[in-house]
Structure 1
């Protein structure tokens, strides 16, 4: 018995067929069958009952399944523990990222990561959540980064980075002169929001409802389908907005917009890592996710220092 066989067994059980498992594992179906037979020979009992339409675990197979899962979890933990000490990594890293993460967060991290691991080739596609899930399930992506929680039986979804939406206003806006800005202060000003169905808009509206304020009370003058369009409208003085401060670092540096805190409300959310339960992440992907977590921890420490000194 070896880990590879346990991995194959778990994947067959998860996918519900030998053919689907073979596709997920990049193996031929006869090779998958042979490995399962070897595992059954080792234990001396049937683990999977086969029929023309479906598979069914035997009692022994049901007993083995949680141990196979634990072995995979231990393998992932082992990768994470060793990844920090591995400098000469090679390979191709395929990432899917949703809009804010892909356009404004990850590009700032890929450069330093690429310098540290120059032999890793990184391909990042900006996609919606549905496309990311499909890419992972078809083994076209190693993992994805999304802006809202997701429930899927074949995927692991866990928080990777924290984000907090902020009030973004033109540099010369009257709100800049206030010592404190409250939610009621922004209701009289024209505001630009993301389109319905946007994760950014959902976070904003949910937080307002928690405070007993209906989003309809906002003086909404535009609904735009991209963060870039919203930034351009704010720069032009069309209105104010509530979006991720990650997306306006350049505009803030140029003095085009200001980022303001709202005293009585926060718009917090998580960015989530998503990857397959049954397909093992390559060590390059594990290393990048650890790098991402370290970056997020550093940001959190900087944020706490800033709060304590303000």
Structure 2
């Protein structure tokens, strides 16, 4: 029988890079960790670490064990999570994390429809940047993550699966009375306008700055900055400046004539919205039901914030 405790000690030392850091993480003494790993190596007739001066170096076997051990401890975390959920949420729990666009515009409708058929289930929704959302999913802190691929590529992880929901675009939009409303203009002319944007680190702002770098153009002047999309769009509707925003967000405003799109020549910035979950066998019925609702109701949600 494998000594899982010793394997965990080995894995932690390998990931932390030293027994000192592993001892701090595990709240154990450094000699105790070293002794248990040596004992395990002797029992199994293997060598996991080699000492080079004052540093530890993984042997080829030690290196090969890292990936399967990571999967093993993920499965262990899933087992513990399921037992904990049964104790604390006997009727079920669903944890959804998404970027700002997802939690402000997409997930609320899906969650409401889910609760109509599953009123007894606890539903928790959290907002995070896309990278953190994916990390929470991988770390068993969430059951589903919704984000845009313009922000973070699909993970190369065979333990995750994803469903494409939308083919979104980023648009330049202005007030209907703006001189560029409904017109096609050059990117340089558009960037000369005063911009109203969300804070640094937002997906749309980062993508706009990347576009400027790709075209070797000076970035626009950010004259007003908001921490939410609603404030940004209402400032533009008031008649000052322009913004760069998801078509899912702006579509409804444009349809109602509250905003107007500016068509910028030779610029098309796409964004695919995906719902990412862990691959499980059998699939979690709550996650499967929520995913089915998201797919079934993925018509254009652009009705404003």
Task: Pick the TM interval, shorter chain.
Answer: 0.5 to 0.7
CA displacement 1:120-172 (0-9 Å, x = unmatched): 44221223457647755875433433453289999977775543211122133
Counterparts of 1:58 and 1:117, CA distance in 2: 51
Q: Where does 1:39-188 land on structure 2 (aligned, <5 Å)? A: 91-115=92-116, 120-128=121-129, 132=133, 139-147=140-148, 148-149=151-152, 161=164, 162-178=167-183, 180-188=184-192
Alignment of 1:1-310 (within 5 A): 91-115=92-116, 120-128=121-129, 132=133, 139-147=140-148, 148-149=151-152, 161=164, 162-178=167-183, 180-216=184-220, 220-271=222-273, 283-284=284-285, 286-287=287-288, 290-291=291-292, 294=295
Aligned length: 255
Distance 1:72 1:231 in 2: 45
Contact 2:159 2:278 in 1 (8 A): yes
The answer (yes or no) to whether the contact 1:155–1:274 under 8 Å persists in 2 is no
Root mean square deviation, CA, Å: 5.5
Q: What is the deviation of 1:91?
A: 2.1
DSSP 3-state at the match of 2:209: helix
How many Å separate the matches in 2 of 1:143 and 1:150?
A: 16
Shift of 1:114: 4.2
Change (3 A) 1:171 1:121: farther
Inter-partner Cα distance in structure 2 for 1:262 and 1:47? 63
Greater helix fraction, Structure 1 or Structure 2: 1
Q: TM-score, normalised by structure 2?
A: 0.57
Structure 1 gaps of 5+ residues are 22-43, 50-56, 74-89, 301-310
Inter-partner Cα distance in structure 2 for 1:103 and 1:281 = 31
- Per-residue displacement from partner, 1:233-280 (whole Å, max 9, x unpaired)? 011112211111222344345431134443311223344656779x99
Whether the 8 Å CA contact 2:182–2:261 is kept in 1: the answer is no
Structure 2 distance, partners of 1:206, 1:59, is 41
Deviation at 1:230, TM superposition (A): 0.4
1:160–1:270: 8 Å Cα contact kept in structure 2? no
* Larger RCO, structures 1/2 (Cα 8 Å, 6+ apart): 1
